[in-house]
Structure 1
Amino acid sequence: MRATVILLTAGLSLVAVGTAGVAASLPLVLASVVLAGVTRVVTDAVEVPATDGVTVRTVATDLWIGPALAAVVLILWLDATPGEVQALGGMVGLVGMLNYFLRPFYHLIYGLGRRLAAL
């Protein structure tokens, strides 16, 4: 679940920037890094009561990695136009959704491995 949240956050930030008409550049990379830092500080300060299952706190602690990943993607494609930045965000988000849809398969493989190890 964490990888899905991280990839979707990175993809959403890239799609938003591309939709705003901003091309990839070093100031945009710096802005993504600053956003990652601010998100990290804010999520550390959030107090959410613990409940069963996936908590808001568990998900929120990983949100800062999304803008950091977006910065890495922008560094790799520093000459991307706004449309290309938007497309890169869509591809990163697509990988996140692929990870989400493959989770049952991951659990199946993990369960089979545990059963084989118990033999």
Structure 2
Amino acid sequence: MKLKLDVSDVTFVVSLAPVAKEYDGKHQTDKDGSLKWTTELIALGTAEDEGASVVKVVTVGEKPNLTKSAPVTVVDLEAVPWVSKQGTLGTAFRAAAIHPVKAGK
């Protein structure tokens, strides 16, 4: 199950530039063979009583051209709950794209 997230009230900033998503030392690919990339972002809520969260977001295709501390827009963010064979629970985050915010916006 994938859950679409409304992030219209969230500001994102890159905390670590994109890196290859790896498993057992191999760059992971999507079903169609496209490469997967992981970008660590700081998500800042707009409410006065909200803090920040750090999330790792996976994108597929070309490596996003992003630098540390850059404000970004996250397109079509999804949360994907998962369970490991050992029973560990988690949530993965995936986006259609991550784009730098253009100056003046």
Task: Compare the two structures and name the one with the higher strand fraction.
Answer: 2
Q: Do the structures match in fold with TM over 0.5? A: no
Q: Which TM-score bucket, shorter chain as reference?
A: under 0.3
Tell me the TM-score normalized by structure 1: 0.25
Task: Compare the two structures and name the one with the higher helix fraction.
Answer: 1
Rg (Cα) greater in structure: 1
- Higher RCO (CA < 8 A, seq sep 6+): 1
